[in-house]
Amino acid sequence: KLGATSPATRQGLCSRSVTMVMGLPPKRQRTLADEAKQGGLWTALRRNPTGMALLGLYGMISLAFGVQVIVTTSLAAEFWEHRMTTITSTFNVVKLAMGVVFAGPYGRFGDRYGNRIACAILALFSTAPFAALLIVGLTERGLWAACGANLLQGFAGLTMAGAPCLFSLLHEVVLPGDFAVMTAIACVSLGCVSIIGTFACTAIQSRGGEVAVIWFGFAIGVLSTVGLAVLPQRKLGAAEGADTSAAEPGDTDRPEEGKEANAQDVPGGGGGATPCASLSSAYFAAAHPLLLRLCVIAMLLCFSEAIATDVMNQFVLECLGWLGAAVDLQTRAKLLFHLTLALQLALAIGCLFLSWVSTRHSTYSVLVWTSVLAAVMLMWPPMMVLMQQLWDAFVVAVCVAVSMCAMPATAAVVPLVSPPGQVGEAMGAMGSFKCMSFLVGNLICVFGVPLLQQSGVDNPLWLVFPLCSVCALCAVPLTIGLRRKACAFGQEDKA
């Protein structure tokens, strides 16, 4: 056992272990807890330069998406006026419905032709709305064209929780055992880039106007596409037949990557594709019980995240009495801007702490405790009904941001419960379930919130947060059961 050796000896053994395992194809690599403890967080970042480069490109894609939202929101306020929320919500529903249908097949496409190609296509999709605006112009027709082009991202299952193909590519380029750390760092990268991008867009818009912002977003999309196209791939071959006996077994209570599918063969299973794309993700997940359980966990957590983020701004403004003509537009916009920055910063710090925890605890344990934390954090926002203070608005934003830290933990578990060589499709299947939860959350906000407002309850939106907390709480026993079943499979493999 590595725990019986000195720290220096343990680090040397782990380094040699990673060197041996690095040359193996993904389906034969170990992703065990002990392999994530080789020198801590900073060491994990230093030994994954390609992974860090990918995270930078991931941040650029997210920035392009954020710039597109800023531009289209501004144009929608000008051309669609009171129809703005209805039309944009309709586009979001269509995009999420596309993710439900196509996220799984898109992940299978990445497994077959390369996740780097799948990610490059997604980056190319992110440039389409800017290209539409540059070609058609800043008119209402251009706005419709840009929103229609934005639907292309639905093929990859892109949501605020990320794109499955990007996590699949990250799993391919990082060292075995560092994936859990790097998924959390990915969210840190997104938060930091979003904060920097928000200030950059504000500065560019003040000097060059909307057209300059559009060119900025288009350039970011093109650069990310080129960067993904030239991203170095991990070389296999020479070490493919290497002896793995030198690799330390580590935490044998958890299954190795790809073992899950072998341990739970089902009649007619095997995760093959179905003729109907709309059933492909559900069929693939159902053929692998641990993956299906993880997809349900992600769905519950995403559902609570979607509703909480959708209603947070309106809930805060209602508690402060800042809706309508109570305060001027500039004051209200300034508060919303600061709340967005507070949420992004809290999410970045929370995910940074999560990455540090991932170097010291198993991936399953991290998922259990982040689910518990999400349920606890979402209990605080209703307190603002009693304490209608400005400082409490920022506390609400921080609580919602911390509850979102559970999503990287779900992505980190996917390689441990996916069949050999099908991590991309497994990521896509979970992305499909996430899109389904975001879709249901948006529909609840569109149809359920007006019913709450007609109920006669004073500031009724506080009722949404207990619902979100209950959903996150329902995920806790599922995460505990997932850890137990995974440990049972690990014991069977050990025997």
Share of the chain above pLDDT 90, in %: 6
Residue 241 has pLDDT above 50, yes or no: no
**pLDDT, mean over the chain:** 75
Cα gap 415→411, rounded to integer Å: 8
pLDDT digits (tens, 9 = 90+) for 165-221: 888 888 888 887 788 788 888 878 777 777 777 778 778 877 877 788 889 889 988
**367 or 453: which carries more pLDDT confidence?**
367
The confidence score (pLDDT) of residue 376 equals 92
- How many CA within 13 A on the CB side of residue 403? 34
Residue 162 pairs with which residues in a beta bridge?
159
Helices (H), 359-417: 363-377, 390-403, 406-417
Share of the chain above pLDDT 70, in %: 77
User: 357 CB contacts (<8 Å, ≥6 apart)?
Assistant: 366
The confidence score (pLDDT) of residue 324 equals 65
pTM of the model: 0.70
Residue 368 has pLDDT above 80, yes or no: yes
Cα gap 358→339, rounded to integer Å: 28
Q: Determine the residue type at 395.
A: V
Q: Which of 32-41, 310-319, 390-399 has the lowest average pLDDT?
A: 32-41
H/E stretch holding 106 reads helix 84-113
Give the position of tokens 């344990």.
365
Tokens in use for 309? 């983020």
Of 75, 212, 210, 213, nearest to 140 (Cα)? 75
**28 or 340: which carries more pLDDT confidence?**
340
Residue 257 has pLDDT above 80, yes or no: no
Residue 243 has pLDDT above 80, yes or no: no
**245 or 69: which carries more pLDDT confidence?**
69
The confidence score (pLDDT) of residue 109 equals 87
pLDDT band for position 9 (cuts 50, 70, 90): very low
Q: Is 238 helix (H, G, I), strand (E, B) or coil?
A: coil
Tokens in use for 233? 């791939």
pLDDT digits (tens, 9 = 90+) for 51-83: 888 888 888 888 887 788 777 776 776 777 656
